[in-house]
Structure 1
C-alpha cells in the first residue's frame, strides 16, 4: 500500500499529516524572521530549554506539551528581560538556558514515577504518535502565533531590522522584541513534537534558507518557506512510511536536500546568465 493510499484509509495518518501541516506553517512563518536576523542559536536555546518543562510536566503527571509551552515562553521572556533590562550577554544566557534546560529535563525524566520514558522521543520527535488532542493544541498555538504576527507585523519588522529608527519613531521596541521571542517559543513547541529538540533549528532554518534563494521580500519568503516546509514534511513522511525510517530525521534530511537542490538550481541559472551576457 502506498503512502497516499494509507493516508486515505488510516485516520491516524491523517492526524499525523495534519500535525506535519501545522509544523510546516510554524516553520515557514517564523523561519524567515529567524534566518534574516541570524537568530538560529536563540531558537535552539529556547528549544533545548523546553526539555526541562517536558521533564517536570511528566514528573508531575501533567501534559508534556503544556510543560514545553510554559518552559519555552518563560525562556523567551527571560532572554528578552536580560537583553533589554540588565543588558546581559544574549549568547551567554542562551547557552546557560540550553544546558540547564537539558539537565533539568533529563533528571526529571529519570526521577519520574511510573513507566520509563523514552528520552529519544523528545530529542528526535515522535510525529507518528501524534494524537488528536496534541494536533488541536498545535493548531491553536499556530493560530495564536499568526495572530500575534498579524497584529504587530509592521512595527515588529521595523524593530527587528532597524531598532534604533523604530525607537525614534516611538515604537515600543522592547515589548515587540519580547513578543517576537514568544512567537519563536510557540513555533518551537509546535516543532518539538515533529522533529524533536535536537533538530528544531534545522526545520526552522532550512525551509527559510531555501525560500531566501528565490526572494528577499519577507512576506514572499514566508509563503515560499511554508511551501518548502510542507514539501519536506510530505516527502519525509512518505519516505519514512515506505522505508520504516524515523519520521523527524527523514523530514530534516528532505529539507536539507531541498535546500541543496535550490542552491544547485541558482548556481546553474547564474552560470547560464553569465554565459549569455
Structure 2
C-alpha cells in the first residue's frame, strides 16, 4: 500500500500537486498557529476561516480567483471584530461569534445563488486532490511571503505575543502587529481552504501548534516543531486519504489530533504539570 502511494506520486500529477500543497500548508499553518495560541486567539482563527466563505462565493459569481475575494472578506472580518471589541462593552468572544456566524450564513446564501452545491462541499471540507498548478504556486508564494514576514518581525511578534504592555512601553506599535498577524492568519486560512476546507482550517492552525507547545521551551523550537508536525500530519493524512479513498482533508486533521493525543500523555511538560497538580 505504501509502495502504491509512492508509485502514484511518481505517476500522477494531481497527487504531486496535492503532496506539495499539503506539505507547504502544514509548514505555514504550523508556524502561524504558534502565535495564535500564544495570544489566546484560537477563536479568531475559527472566525476568519469561516468569514472567507462569502468572499469565495462572490469570487465564484464574478469569475475571479477565489484568493482575492477570500482575502478581502477575511481581512474585513478581522477589522470588524477588532472594532466591535474595542468600541463597545461586548466581549471579544461574543463579537467573534456574531461575526463568523453571520459571514458563514452569507457565504452559504451566495453559494446557493450560484447554484453550486458541489463547490460548497469542497469549500467547506476541502479537496486537496483537485488542486491545480496555479493553486499550488499561489500557495507556495503565499507561504514564502508569510514565513518571510515572521522571520523579519520575529522579535516584535515574540514580545507583543508574550507581553504587549512591555512592547508598548518599548515603543512598539502593538496594534500594527496585531493586524499584521490577522493578515497572516487570513492568508493561511485562504491557502488551507484547498486542503481541509473552511470547517477544519482552525484544526491545522491550532493542533500542531498546541502539540509543539507541550514540548517546546522557546518560541523558535515551538515554531520548528509545529511546522514539522504539520508536515507529518499532511503527509500521513494524504496517504490515508488516497490509499483508503476517504476525505484527505479530514484524514490530515485526524492525524494531527492523534499526534496531540499521544503528546498529551507522553510529553515531559504535561507529566510535570500533572505531578504539580497532584501535590
Instruction: Tell me if TM exceeds 0.5.
Output: yes
Whether the aligned pair in 2 keeps the contact of 1:46 and 1:185 (CA below 8 Å) is yes
Whether the aligned pair in 2 keeps the contact of 1:80 and 1:177 (CA below 8 Å) is no
Q: Which moved more, 1:10-19 or 1:147-156?
A: 147-156
2:71 corresponding residue in structure 1 = 69
Distance (whole Å) between structure 2 residues aligned to residue 85 and residue 179 of structure 1: 20
1:139 corresponding residue in structure 2 = 140
Distance (whole Å) between structure 2 residues aligned to residue 212 and residue 191 of structure 1: 21
1:240 corresponding residue in structure 2 = 241
After TM superposition, the structure 1 = structure 2 runs for residues 166-181 of structure 1, keeping only pairs within 5 Å, are 166-181=167-182
Residue 78 in structure 1 maps to residue 80 in structure 2: yes
Structure 2 residue matching 1:118: 3-state secondary structure: helix
1:54 corresponding residue in structure 2 = 56
Whether the aligned pair in 2 keeps the contact of 1:80 and 1:178 (CA below 8 Å) is no
TM-score normalised per structure 2: 0.90
Whether the aligned pair in 1 keeps the contact of 2:24 and 2:231 (CA below 8 Å) is no
Structure 2 residue matching 1:62: 3-state secondary structure: coil
CA RMSD in angstroms, aligned pairs only: 2.1
Q: Pick closer, same or farther for the CA change 1:269–1:56 going to 2, 3 Å.
A: closer
Instruction: Tell me by how many angstroms 1:36 deviates.
Output: 1.8
Describe the superposition over 1:155-179 as per-residue Cα deviations: whole angstroms up to 9, x where unpaired.
2221122111111111111111111
Whether the aligned pair in 2 keeps the contact of 1:22 and 1:190 (CA below 8 Å) is no
After TM superposition, the structure 1 = structure 2 runs for residues 124-273 of structure 1, keeping only pairs within 5 Å, are 124-266=125-267, 270=271
Q: Pick closer, same or farther for the CA change 1:65–1:124 going to 2, 3 Å.
A: same
Q: Pick closer, same or farther for the CA change 1:254–1:34 going to 2, 3 Å.
A: same
Distance (whole Å) between structure 2 residues aligned to residue 267 and residue 224 of structure 1: 15
Q: Which moved more, 1:24-33 or 1:245-254?
A: 24-33
Structure 1 residue matching 2:199: 3-state secondary structure: coil
For structure 2, which runs of at least 5 residues remain unmatched after alignment? none
Aligned residues, how many? 271
After TM superposition, the structure 1 = structure 2 runs for residues 32-43 of structure 1, keeping only pairs within 5 Å, are 32-43=34-45
TM-score normalised per structure 1: 0.91
Q: Given the alignment, which residue of 2, 12, 15 partners 1:13?
A: 15
Instruction: Tell me by how many angstroms 1:219 deviates.
Output: 0.9
Instruction: Tell me by how many angstroms 1:79 deviates.
Output: 3.1
Whether the aligned pair in 1 keeps the contact of 2:61 and 2:114 (CA below 8 Å) is yes
Distance (whole Å) between structure 1 residues aligned to residue 92 and residue 271 of structure 2: 38
